[in-house]
A and B are shown apart, each in its own frame.
Chain A
Amino acid sequence: MGRQIGALLWKDLIVELRRREQVLSLAVFSLLVLLIFNFAFDLRRTDLAAAGPGILWVTFVFTAVLSLNRAFSVEQDRGTWEGLLLAPIDRGAIYLAKLAANLAFTLVVEVIAIAAFTTFFDLPSNVLQLIAAVLAGTLGFATVGTLFAAMAANTRAREVLLPILLLPVSVPVIIGSVKATAVAFEGVDASTGQYPWLGLVLAFDAIFLAVSFAVFEYVVED
């Protein structure tokens, strides 16, 4: 199974490296979201601790939804999805490979977005905490997101159906990641440091990685 995942992941990465359309367009998109937020809130460096975590996560969530939508729709538009299902590959391997490819694309875009955020505004004081929050939150979003993207890809209204499915279910990830990022911005204080937010997100990651892996075969079986 490890070799299957490796091969599938390699395929997605090669396709992306040759065409370079997904990461580039998503990076431009995330920069635009940051630009819009700057106008929407008229941001100054002083209100960064209050608004920064929210701005970052809305940007990440929008980007992740777009990225997830493409993961399966590209396969279907090129007609390679049937080929993937016909190949003697474990369904779980398809799920994990798609999850890994998505994580890779989203994380690259997030690094670009954070770099831009740092240039536009400022870097949060606790960088390690920020990295941990971004990794845990992105994983949580991608676990359920990959499962739902496979479901939404079969429908006509997939672009809007995916966020409708994904956003309510990932509310714990959004709350936990925003709070954990807030800790990175202002250090631990009474309102944000009271609960183990990162632990909450990691627990979500573990539960939904297991559940999504277990039920993925029912989503792609046809």
Chain B
Amino acid sequence: MLAASAQLDSDRRAVSPGSAVESRSNAILGWATAVLMAASLYAVFVYAPIERTQGLPQKIFYFHVPLAWDAYLAFLCTLIGSIGYLRTSQRRWDALAQSAAEIGVVFTSLVLISGSIWGKTIWGAWWAWDARLTSTLVMWFIYVAYLMLRSALGRTVRAARHAAVLGIVGFIDVPIVHMSVTWWRTLHPQPTVANPAGPTLPGSMLLAFFVCLVTFTVLFVFLLRERMAVERLRDDVDELGSMLLAGAA
């Protein structure tokens, strides 16, 4: 019995080497996120002036746009992970794709919710069938389908391969959806930061916005690493479980 547990112990080290270093570096990242988040709140609510026509509801913008940025970043990671997995069949690429997709769906949900709250106060309606809202909703559906496909197939190689295919097809589809829906309808405020004629935001608001953007990017990296660590632990549990079964037999 003792020998078996010693055996398991050494196997665990073999399964995920360097995980201690990794978890320490991610803890630092977590603290950095916390500090940056406090700085963002200060920048949004104290430093940046209150917008003249919209008033306080405009503050949603500082979190809404970085959330959308994170969502796109997440789905880009899903694409990279999917391509990497199909090329190499290595589990870590699949873990990247899956973890990023989950985070992306959460952030897209938050984008839709924060946008609705803003829309209710400014437009007077929770929802409008505007181009950007609609294409964000379609993107949300594509990646919800991705998660449903994964849960329908369980933790198998087949699930990883099917999901990778959807991760690629879905990402290629997002700009096409966006274009078709833009032709169909547009009501969303025009870009105030990534405007071809230069940002239309005043300097202090722009600074607050970029602080938030950096904060949310760091938050995304932190969450992604945490989620991938969970996936690695799950793999370890699976592996140890099958080892125990093999030992018992």
Supplied contacts A151-B166, A165-B149, A204-B176, 20 more A-B pairs, CB within 8 Å: A144-B169, A151-B149, A154-B153, A155-B152, A155-B153, A156-B152, A161-B152, A165-B145, A168-B141, A168-B145, A169-B170, A169-B173, A171-B138, A171-B181, A172-B177, A194-B183, A200-B179, A211-B168, A218-B161, A219-B161
Question: What residues of chain B lie closer than 8 Å to A179, measured between beta carbons?
Answer: 184
Given contacts A154-B158, A164-B148, contact A172 B166 (CB under 8 A): no
* B86 contacts chain A at the CB level, 8 A cutoff: yes
* A120 contacts chain B at the CB level, 8 A cutoff: no
Complex CA–CA separation, A208 to B165 (angstroms) = 12
Question: What residues of chain A lie closer than 8 Å to B165, measured between beta carbons?
Answer: 147, 151, 215, 218-219
The chain A residue sitting closest to B86, CB to CB, is A218
Instruction: State whether B184 touches A175 (Cβ < 8 A).
Output: yes
Residues 152-173 of A contacting B (Cβ, < 8 Å) = 154-157, 161, 164-165, 167-169, 171-172
Cβ 8 A contact of B162, one of A154, A169, A204: A154
Given contacts A211-B172, A221-B161, contact A169 B183 (CB under 8 A): no
Instruction: State whether A172 touches B173 (Cβ < 8 A).
Output: yes
Instruction: State whether B179 touches A218 (Cβ < 8 A).
Output: no
The chain A residue sitting closest to B143, CB to CB, is A168
Question: What residues of chain B lie closer than 8 Å to A151, measured between beta carbons?
Answer: 149, 162, 165-166
Question: What residues of chain A lie closer than 8 Å to B162, measured between beta carbons?
Answer: 151, 154, 219
Which B residues are within 8 Å of any A CB, using their own CB? Answer: 86, 138, 141-142, 144-145, 148-149, 152-153, 158, 161-162, 164-166, 168-170, 172-173, 176-177, 179-181, 183-184
Size of A's binding interface in residues, CB under 8 A: 34
Cβ 8 A contact of B152, one of A157, A203, A218: A157
The chain A residue sitting closest to B184, CB to CB, is A175
Task: Kindly list the 3 A-B residue pairs having the minimum CB-CB distance in the complex, ordered from nearest.
Answer: A168-B141, A172-B180, A155-B152
Question: What residues of chain B lie closer than 8 Å to A221, measured between beta carbons?
Answer: 161
Cβ 8 A contact of B142, one of A147, A168, A194: A168
Question: What residues of chain B lie closer than 8 Å to A207, measured between beta carbons?
Answer: 172, 176
A98–chain B nearest beta-carbon distance, Å: 15
Which A residues are within 8 Å of any B CB, using their own CB? Answer: 144, 147-148, 151, 154-157, 161, 164-165, 167-169, 171-172, 175-176, 179, 194-195, 197, 200, 203-204, 207-208, 211-212, 215, 218-219, 221-222
Cβ contacts A to B, 21 pairs, < 8 Å: A148-B166, A151-B149, A151-B162, A151-B165, A154-B153, A154-B158, A156-B152, A165-B149, A168-B138, A169-B170, A171-B138, A172-B176, A172-B180, A175-B181, A200-B179, A208-B169, A215-B165, A215-B168, A218-B161, A218-B164, A218-B165
Complex CA–CA separation, A44 to B20 (angstroms) = 71
The chain A residue sitting closest to B142, CB to CB, is A168
Complex CA–CA separation, A155 to B152 (angstroms) = 6
Complex CA–CA separation, A204 to B169 (angstroms) = 12
Given contacts A147-B169, A157-B152, A208-B169, contact A169 B158 (CB under 8 A): no
Complex CA–CA separation, A194 to B152 (angstroms) = 42
B69–chain A nearest beta-carbon distance, Å: 21
Complex CA–CA separation, A179 to B176 (angstroms) = 16
Give the most central of B86, B152, B153, B172: most A CB within 10 Å. Answer: B152
Question: What residues of chain B lie closer than 8 Å to A222, measured between beta carbons?
Answer: 158
A76–chain B nearest beta-carbon distance, Å: 14
Complex CA–CA separation, A146 to B55 (angstroms) = 50
Question: What residues of chain A lie closer than 8 Å to B166, measured between beta carbons?
Answer: 148, 151, 165
Complex CA–CA separation, A23 to B235 (angstroms) = 46
Complex CA–CA separation, A15 to B149 (angstroms) = 30
Complex CA–CA separation, A197 to B161 (angstroms) = 33
